Amino acid sequence: MRIGLISNDFTAGRRPSLGGIGTSNHDLASGLTTAGHEVTVVGVYGDLEKDSESCEPGNGPRVVRLKASPVWFRYRAGAWFDRWRVRRWLAREHPRRPFDIIEVSDYAGWLPWGGPKGVPVTCRLHGSSLFFDRELARAGDEFEHNLERRTLKMADFWIGPSRYVFSKTLSLCSLEQHNGSFISNAVDAEVFSPSRTDETEPGLIVFVNSLNPKKGIEQLLDAMNLVCQSHPEAHLAVIGQDAHTKPGGRNYLNALLERVRPEFRGRVTFLGWLDREVGILHHLRRANVCCYPSHMESFGIAPIEAMAVARPTIFSKTGPGPEVIEDGVSGLLCNPLDSGDIAQKIRLILDDAELAARLGAEGRRRVLALFNKRDWIRRNVEFYESCVASMHATRKPDAIRRNS
């Protein structure tokens, strides 16, 4: 198949993003090309002098990066212009090298006019700003929300990584139903696997995610004040980039460290960005417990990476948390807004080696059964094929798409 992936979160030729959308897109595109499909990733970037095109190393996907609108454009005019550039590129590219299907994320609403005539468009529910703003009771940007709604409604099919995000998105779009399917996110269980050499480091708690309030990092640091009082071996490794400090604003990392009591600050280490399959994997394999008290996710890749490594994992009981982890069986679920509950779950694992081993083993079994990248690629391809077949079966020869 020839697949078009619309994404401005695919950092070709650079270190891959730790964000969930960037990680998912990278895994999807590389997995599809490895399986023999032709993938073109196209997105708009603000750091370019001109449009560029490249291929990922090792026969990877083709990546087209379009230059964003000039900085002197007004916000809304620039947003429409950038989306028009994507639409124009697709209109020019499709007749030359026809796409079988196009995928776009719900986030930021990059296809508000839909795709080329005759090509099915599927929208993957990574988690729109509309979804997170409503779930987290934030005001948000109504203009961006409208772009996302338009893209969602223009898409022929949806892919929901969790039933929770699919159901909530239907409600946010004032829809009762939409053609689509549930395909959970996944990890490469051969890469993210238990180590034969790395030993568990007693008391090591690992957090991997972008650093912003909705990921629960503030409550986790508050919980460390409680855990460190009773567990002198406890220490936290925080892996991820600062995604919250604004230009000219107060440094978020400093503000985070100030949440930790002075006597415990030496037991919290901010490691910044680390390579996913080297630095992150090494820390996961040594972790005594991995903790991700995110306030809300559309699914959550970081927890299943830890589960795949057979580390006991704590995730949030909000949103899709119960779809990822069976509480008390393949991990533990916590109240992400309650630092006391987070601390209690951490202590349960630190105090009970048998529980930790059982949760880790069951977590990996769950990943192998439900969230394995090898099966994930196959399921995505089967879904794409069903979308193409459905469109061909229902379209008359002279039919014109509603978004043409």
As a whole number of angstroms, the distance between CA 313 and CA 282 comes to: 16
CATH of the domain at 26: 3.40.50.2000
Residue 293, phi then psi, degrees to nearest 5: -85, 55
Give me the number of domains the chain comprises. 2
For residues 136 and 214, is the Cβ–Cβ distance under 8 A? Answer: yes
Q: Say what the pLDDT of residue 21 is.
A: 82
> Could you tell me if 117 and 103 lie in one domain?
yes
For residues 119 and 161, is the Cβ–Cβ distance under 8 A? Answer: no
Considering Cα of 367, then 372, then 378, then 383, what sign does the dihedral take? positive
The 8-class DSSP code of residue 185 comes to: -
Decide if 170 is inside a domain.
Answer: yes
> Could you tell me if 364 and 386 lie in one domain?
no
pTM, two decimals, is 0.90
- Does 15 have pLDDT greater than 50? no
Range of the domain at 9: 2-186+373-394
State the chain's mean pLDDT as an integer.
91
Decide if 235 is inside a domain.
Answer: yes
Copy the structure tokens of residue 351: 């105090």
> Could you tell me if 354 and 386 lie in one domain?
no
Copy the structure tokens of residue 53: 């095109």
- Does 340 have pLDDT greater than 90? yes
Q: What b/e readout covers 114-129, taking b as 16+ CB neighbours within 10 angstroms?
A: bbbeebbbbbbbbbbb
> Could you tell me if 222 and 269 lie in one domain?
yes
Per-residue pLDDT of 137-178, as tens digits, reads 999 999 999 999 999 999 999 999 999 999 999 999 999 999
Decide if 199 is inside a domain.
Answer: no
Decide if 158 is inside a domain.
Answer: yes
> Could you tell me if 236 and 284 lie in one domain?
yes
How far from chain centre, in Å, is Cα 171?
Answer: 21
As a whole number of angstroms, the distance between CA 88 and CA 170 comes to: 29
> Could you tell me if 339 and 284 lie in one domain?
yes
Percent of the chain with pLDDT over 70: 94
Per-residue pLDDT of 206-248, as tens digits, reads 999 999 999 999 999 999 999 999 999 999 999 998 888 777 7
Q: Left (φ > 0), alpha (ψ -120 to 50) or beta: where does 319 sit?
A: left
Strand bridging mode 180-182 / 204-208 = unpaired
Decide if 192 is inside a domain.
Answer: no
Decide if 193 is inside a domain.
Answer: no
Copy the structure tokens of residue 215: 């990921």
Q: Which residues have CB under 8 Å from 326's CB, separation 6+?
A: 362, 366
> Could you tell me if 238 and 365 lie in one domain?
yes
Per-residue pLDDT of 70-88, as tens digits, reads 988 999 999 999 999 999 9
| C-alpha closest to that of 56 among 35, 36, 37, 33 | 33
> Could you tell me if 230 and 214 lie in one domain?
yes
Q: Which residues have CB under 8 Å from 111's CB, separation 6+?
A: 6, 83, 86, 87, 102, 104, 121, 123, 151, 154, 155
